[in-house]
Every structure is written in C-alpha cells, then in structure tokens.
C-alpha cells in the first residue's frame, strides 16, 4: 500500500506542508508528507506503510522544543496532537496520558484529581511524548521523577511497555532517543495531595515563568543545556550577546537563555545565532555549550 492511499481510510495525510505552521518558533521548511493519526490503529498503519515503502519517519510531538531547518523534512512527519486522551485514577494515584496530550493539560488533570507531582510541568508547552522523550523538567522537577511506565510503538511496528528503569532517564535524555521508539502514552505515578495546595504551587511556578521568560514572542524555550557548575544566561550576558540579533532571531533581553522570533525569522537565523553564542562562550569561558533544543531537518538548497 502506498502512503497516500491511507487517505481513503480516513487518515489525515497532507503533502508539502510548511512546518512553520506548527513549530513554536514559527520557522521551518516543509514536510514532504505530514500526518495526524487519531488513534493507535492509524498510527500503526502509518508506521507499517512507511516501513514497507522505505520512507523516512520523523515524529515531532508538539514542536515546542524544536528547530526544523529551512529545507524541511523528507519522508513522513507525524504530529500526534489528535491522540490526547488523559485519564486520572485517584484510587491508584496515577494519570495516564496519550503522547499527543499537552503536559500542561496532564498536570491540570492531576491537580483536579488531587494528585501531586506534576506541578513543575504546569507551564511546559510540550506534549507528553516530548516530555518523556527529552525528560523535560523545570523548577526542580523532572519527568523521570514521576514516570511509572511508558508505552511505545517500535519502528518495527510492535507495541511494548518500558518500566521506569528501562527508560534510562538522564539530563534531557531517555532511551527512546537511541531506540527511535514512538511514545504513545505514559503513566505517571503521583501522590495524593490537597487540590488547592497543588493549584497554588502550579500558579506560583507559572507566575515565575511569566515574569522571567519572553512568552510574548515565538521561541523554542530554553535553547542550551546547563553546563555543570555554570548558568547559561549570565555567561551570555557577560559575553555581550544578550539582545544580539541575526535576521529575525534575537537573544532575549528578558531571558538570555531564550532566542525569540521578533518577526520574519528563519530557522537559519536561529541556528546562526546559536552557533555564534556557542563559539563566543567557548572562546570567552572555555565551555562547550550543548543545545537542549532538538535540531532536525535539511539545509535549504
């Protein structure tokens, strides 16, 4: 079966779609094919079809902590945001969420059920699948602290479940970065708590986020991983690069660890500014800054 034949089965597949419509930076080239599966059956059929036809497959989650180069992505790109069911089980103190559900919505579902542990995620804009993939964290919390199990679809088309330990979590890392498995859902093990205390903590974290981060502009969030013993923002400020602009990409004056799209930025603008910051920090401080943001796709011809 050919990929586009799946449209006859009701699967939403489009061709040559600009991914800038979906990325949080509002940049990025086109996807050769772009699909939005609504359930596991559609996802499994898409994975089987690209395997049969030797078509490259890329999953981009909610496209929040992501830069897609201006040449776009060959093959099939999957966005799982239509798979977004969230089920809280107060008796078992768990929340199970599909990969396409927003981690913000998942933390709110936990709060409504009086379950504590996901407060740190109240303002993280990514999906559950993305949070698991990169072990997202904020304000002292990390995804790994609350993961009980993760269900995936392998590139061979088989479903399997990882335990917490099998996920091999590390700083902005999980085992699925190596395996290529597609996260389809995650179960969070939480603690019973007072709903209003949980809500207050979430609101406190969101207040900090609004005060310190340039949420009024498109961005990919925090660009760089924190080097041991150092803070990225102060180094960028000391290097004289806060406010530096290349094209429409600017190192934020509100938070130097963010690069924002002030208007008309391309992915190349973003990457050129990232490389400049890395080169300068290496020269001034002897530190190799590693990107937290995921960078994928082709250079523009």
Active site annotation includes 250: no
Which pair of structure tokens corresponds to residue 142? 């990390």
Selected catalytic residue, list 69, 102, 151, 172? 172
Separation of alpha carbons 239 and 94, rounded Å:
45
SS3 15: strand
Q: Residue 225 to residues 161, 193, 249: CA-CA distances in angstroms?
A: 28, 32, 19
**Which residue's structure tokens are 């890329």?**
58
Active site annotation includes 7: no
Active site annotation includes 172: yes
DSSP string, the chain: --GGGGGGGT--EEEEEEGGGTSTTS---EEEEEE---SHHHHHHHHHHHHHTT--EEE-TTSSSEEE-TTBEEEEEE--TT---EEEETTTTEEEEETTSBHHHHHHHHHHTTEES-GGGTT--SBHHHHHHHT-EETTEEGGGTEEEEEEE-TTS-EEEEETGGG--BTTB-THHHH-PEEEEEEEE-EE--HHHHHHHHHHHHHHHHHHS-TTS-EEEE-BPPPTT--HHHHHHHTT-TT-EETTEEE-SS-TTEEEE-SS--HHHHHHHHHHHHHHHHHHH---PPBSSEEESBPP-
Selected catalytic residue, list 222, 250, 252, 294? 222
Separation of alpha carbons 99 and 78, rounded Å:
12
Active-site positions read 172, 222, 292
């Amino acid at each position: 079966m050919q990929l586009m034949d799946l449209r006859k089965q009701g699967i939403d597949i489009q061709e040559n779609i600009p991914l800038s419509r979906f990325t949080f930076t509002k940049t990025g080239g086109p996807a050769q094919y772009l699909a939005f599966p609504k359930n596991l059956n559609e996802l499994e059929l898409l994975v089987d079809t690209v395997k049969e036809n030797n078509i490259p497959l890329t999953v981009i989650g909610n496209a929040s902590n992501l830069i897609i180069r201006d040449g776009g992505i060959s093959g099939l790109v999957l966005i799982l945001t239509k798979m977004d069911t969230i089920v809280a089980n107060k008796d078992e103190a768990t929340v199970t969420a599909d990969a396409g559900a927003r981690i913000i919505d998942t933390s709110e579902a936990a709060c409504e059920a009086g379950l504590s542990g996901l407060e740190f995620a109240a303002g993280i804009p990514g999906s559950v699948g993305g949070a698991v993939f990169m072990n997202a964290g904020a304000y002292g919390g990390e995804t790994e602290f609350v993961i009980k199990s993760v269900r995936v679809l392998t590139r061979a088309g088989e479903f399997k479940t990882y335990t917490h330990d099998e996920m091999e979590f590390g700083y902005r890392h999980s085992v699925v970065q190596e395996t290529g498995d597609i996260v389809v859902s995650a179960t969070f093990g939480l603690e019973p708590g007072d709903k209003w205390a949980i809500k207050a903590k979430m609101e406190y974290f969101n207040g900090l986020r609004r005060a310190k981060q340039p949420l009024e502009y498109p961005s990919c969030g925090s660009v760089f991983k924190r080097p041991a013993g150092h803070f990225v923002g102060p180094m960028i400020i000391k290097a004289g690069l806060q406010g530096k602009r290349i094209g429409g990409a600017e190192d934020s004056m509100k938070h130097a660890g963010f690069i924002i799209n002030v208007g008309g930025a391309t992915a190349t603008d973003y990457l050129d500014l990232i490389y400049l910051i890395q080169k300068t920090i290496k020269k001034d401080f002897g530190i190799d800054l590693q990107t937290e943001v995921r960078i994928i796709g082709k250079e523009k011809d």
